[in-house]
Amino acid sequence: MNVLTTAAGAPSASTTGSAGPAGPAGPAADPFRPEWHFTSERNWLNDPNGLVYLNGTYHLFYQHNPFGPEWGNMSWGHATSRDLLRWEEQPVAIPCDEREAIFSGSAVFDEHNTSGLGSAGTPPLVAIYTSAYSGASPLAGRQAQSLAYSLDEGTTWTKYSGNPVLDRASADFRDPKVFWYDGGAGSYWVMVAVEAVERQVVLYKSADLKNWEHLSTFGPANATGGVWECPDLFELPVDGNPADSRWVLIVNINPGGIAGGSAGQYFLGAFDGVEFRSESTVTEGLQQDGSLMREYGWLDWGRDYYAAVSFSGIADGRRIMIGWMNNWDYAGSIPTGSWRSAMSLPREVSLARIDGKVVLRQTAIDPFAGQDSPSFSLGPQALAPGVQELPVAAAVARIDVEFEPGTANSVGLLVRAGGAERTVISYDVADCILRLDRRESGQADFHAAFPSVEAVAVPLQDGRLRLGIHLDRCSVEVFAQDGLATITDLVFPVEASTALAVFAEGGGAHLVALDVVGR
Ligand code: FRU
């Protein structure tokens, strides 16, 4: 293919979304640094933690090593944003010490000071995190749940003197997600956490965030080929109808994810304030048979969307999640230099009934929303068999495309193409399978597990396939059929690989529309 080489411009300060600026030398010095996906300016990052919205500010805490670009010294880093896209990195919020590492957890605004950690006039923001006790602690080897609180909207944090608040004498009890339950059974705080190795979600309740009472245990069920981590539980209306709602239980799993390594699965069901009853359990118990993996609910069918959890404190009904855009299979080897790992774009999740079945829909918070003039557009036209290069460069961009496959065997796009590099997004018409192939996407040999092809079944709707694709220097996030299935993958092409092409194979297809925003 004759590849176009339009250079992508350096980001200006006003369009730099990430807290990690590319530096004075611009992207040439840091070609993989995303513009719209949060990265810590330096050093290691994994799970999003303590996602909470308060007084116009979104807080993103995260697993962070303040001292190096590898996992270790786990502490809570902190970033803030007013629009979920432009993040400002803040000082480390909760640092590790010689007694404990600060593992994943959540944060809530304790508006009525139920914890007594603030006062009526100054209610606290409370972080509920996992203390991973180390050598210098009498609890060495255990994981238990602890509190820290802030009386200045997240700027400074104090550990609660009565920590830990919940200890099961377990080595793998972690990742508490706390929310305020208000329903038939009463009003109280609920914690969902995991016994990771048992593949169980454990539920507790509390009136004050300090004293916890066991409610119930869920699992093992569905995918159990790895430890269960970072759960979440929330209620969503189906098609916006509050009289018809489901509870969504999120369970991240590593390894044993649908595309290999880390991934997030979800269960739909009912929660009565005590017990979660799943209506999407396909297999119960610990089982090794992987043949049903595609029957389970997956948050994403790619390799790089893990530890996804949702914000608390958003009162307008939106449920917004962020995932860690990486995979434990190779996270420590990605070729990004002094920083390692980005977050996914935030996603709004909702429930829809499609062909009688309730399913999750995800929509990315779009960096280009409101930018009404696309950089490049194609209207309805025939697509002859073959590859058609488009006269537009796309490295930090949103691409919206709609196909009618016609007589083609497959249709799709090449993104981040140049020289021998390309990431292939293809749709197999006969089998209704959408694939993302990153085997030739650029640097891929830094780890044997990295080159991969992801696949998800995507039925045509009214004979059409709609894809929304977000590119941001080192990532490709594909939202199929308005977010009914998503594939998120990292890619590491050279900076000049910005060409975009559409293709049809084995016959002619119809391109309904294609828009590119960005560059
Ligand atoms: C998930 C996880 C969590 C743990 C944290 C440690 O990626 O393993 O279970 O709390 O990372 O960094």
**Residue 144's beta-bridge partner residues?**
131
Residue 458 has pLDDT above 60, yes or no: yes
Predicted confidence (pLDDT) at residue 13 exceeds the cutoff of 90 = no
Tell me: pLDDT of 333 over 70.
Answer: yes
Q: Evaluate if residue 408 carries a pLDDT over 60.
A: yes
Which residues on adjacent β-strands are paired with residue 194? 174, 201
Mutate to test the pocket of ligand 1, among 43, 103, 195, 329 (most ligand atoms within 8 A of CB): 103
Ligand 1: centre distance to CA 130 (Å): 9
Mean pLDDT, range 421-439, rounded to an integer: 98
Kindly name the residue from 47, 175, 304, 472 that is annotated as catalytic: 47
Of the given ranges (265-269, 372-376, 384-388, 456-460), which has the lowest mean pLDDT?
Answer: 372-376
**114 Cβ below 6 A of ligand 1:** no
CA–centroid distance, 281 to ligand 1, in Å, is 25
User: Would the pLDDT of 5 be above 80?
Assistant: no
Q: Do 401 and 480 fall within a single domain?
A: yes
Q: Confidence class of residue 390 from pLDDT cuts 50, 70 and 90?
A: very high
Q: Please work out whether the CB of residue 514 comes within 6 Å of at least one atom of ligand 1.
A: no
pLDDT at 276: 98
Q: Is the CB of 175 under 6 A from ligand 1?
A: yes
Pair 242, 121 in one domain: yes
Nearest CA to ligand 1 atom 6: 103
Ligand 1, atom 8, residue with closest C-alpha: 229
Spacing, Cα 14 to ligand 1 middle (Å): 34
What pLDDT sits at residue 516? 97
Per-residue confidence (pLDDT) for residue 25, from 0 to 100: 45
- Which residue's alpha carbon is nearest to atom 9 within ligand 1? 229
State the pLDDT confidence band at 27, using cuts at 50, 70 and 90: low
Domain of residue 434, CATH code: 2.60.120.560
Q: Which two tokens stand for residue 139?
A: 């609890």
Q: Are residue 345 and residue 410 in the same domain, yes or no?
A: no
pLDDT of 3 above 70: no
**Is residue 25 situated within a structural domain?**
no
Percent of the chain with pLDDT strictly greater than 70: 94
Same domain as 451, residue 355: no
Residue 12 has pLDDT above 60, yes or no: no
Boundary residue ending a domain (364, 397, 432): 364
Residue 65: strand, helix, or coil: strand
pLDDT digits (tens, 9 = 90+) for 195-211: 999 999 999 999 999 99
CB distance 46 to ligand 1 below 6 Å: yes
Residue 159 lies in a domain: yes
User: What does each C-alpha distance from 78 to 18, 39, 297, 498 come to in angstroms?
Assistant: 13, 11, 31, 32
The reply to whether ligand 1 has any atom less than 6 angstroms from the CB of 327 is: no
Do 262 and 408 belong together in one domain?
Answer: no
Q: How far is the CA of 230 from the centre of ligand 1 (A)?
A: 7
Q: Name the band, by pLDDT with cuts 50, 70 and 90, for residue 83.
A: very high
Residues 220, 339, single domain; the answer is yes
Tokens 């609910």 label which residue?
297
Q: Does any domain span residue 306?
A: yes
Same domain, 271 and 165: yes
Residue ending a domain, among 313, 338, 364, is 364
Distance (Å) from CA 254 to ligand 1 centroid: 10
Q: What is the pLDDT of residues 267-277, one digit of tens each?
A: 999 999 999 99
Predicted local confidence at residue 370, as pLDDT: 84
Atom of ligand 1 nearest to the CA of 74: 12
Question: Residue 176 and residue 106: Cα distance in Å, rounded?
Answer: 6
**194 found inside a domain:** yes
Q: Which residues pair with 254 in a beta bridge?
A: 227
Both 84 and 153 in one domain: the answer is yes
Complete DSSP assignment for 339-385: EE-BBPPPEEEEEEEETTEEEEEEEE--TTTT--S-SEEE-SEEE-S
Is 238 found in the same domain as 106? yes
Q: Residue 77 falls within a domain, yes or no?
A: yes
Closest CA to 415 of 303, 325, 503: 503
Q: Are residues 329 and 456 in the same domain?
A: no
Is there a domain that residue 31 lies in?
no
* Mean pLDDT, all residues of the chain: 94
Encode pLDDT of 48-70 as tens digits: 999 999 999 999 999 999 999 99
Cβ of residue 131 lying under 6 Å from some atom of ligand 1: no
Bridge pairing between strands 57-65 and 465-472: unpaired
Q: Which residue has the tokens 């970072």?
A: 230
Whether residue 19 lies inside any domain: the answer is no
Q: Residue 10 pLDDT > 60, yes or no?
A: no
Share of the chain above pLDDT 90, in %: 92
Instruction: State which of 102, 198, 230 you would mutate to test the pocket of ligand 1, scoring each by most atoms of that ligand within 8 A of its C-beta.
Output: 230
* 323, 338, 364 - which closes a domain: 364
- Establish whether 47 is a catalytic residue: yes
298 and 153 in a common domain: yes
Q: What share of the chain is helix, strand, coil (3-state, %, to 5)?
A: 5, 50, 45
> Which domain, by its residues, includes 71?
43-364
Residue from 309, 126, 168 nearest 231 by CA: 309
Dist. CA 118 → ligand 1 center (Å): 29
Q: Is 47 in the pocket of ligand 1 (CB under 6 A)?
A: yes
174 lines ligand 1 (CB under 6 A): yes
**Centre of ligand 1 from the C-alpha of residue 103, in Å:** 6
Q: Is 44 in the pocket of ligand 1 (CB under 6 A)?
A: no
Say yes or no: CB of residue 300 within 6 Å of ligand 1.
no
Residue 8 has pLDDT above 70, yes or no: no
Residues 465-491: tens digit of each pLDDT: 999 999 999 999 999 999 999 999 999
Cβ-based neighbours of 401, under 8 Å, separated by 6 or more: 413, 466, 467, 469, 502, 511, 513, 514, 515
Position 17 scores a pLDDT of 41
| Inside any domain, residue 383 | yes
Q: Which atom of ligand 1 is nearest to the CA of 230?
A: 9
In a shared domain, residues 346 and 380: no
The CATH number given to whatever domain includes residue 77 is: 2.115.10.20
Task: State the closest ligand 1 atom to the C-alpha of 63, by its place in the atom list counted from 1.
Answer: 12
pLDDT at 374: 87
* Ligand 1 atom nearest 328 alpha carbon: 7
Backbone torsions φ then ψ of 333, nearest 5 degrees = -110, -5
In short, whether 262's Cβ falls inside 6 Å of ligand 1 is no
Counted domains in the chain: 2
**In the prediction, which pLDDT does 57 show?**
98
Ligand 1 centroid to residue 199 C-alpha, Å: 14
pLDDT exceeds 60 at position 116: yes
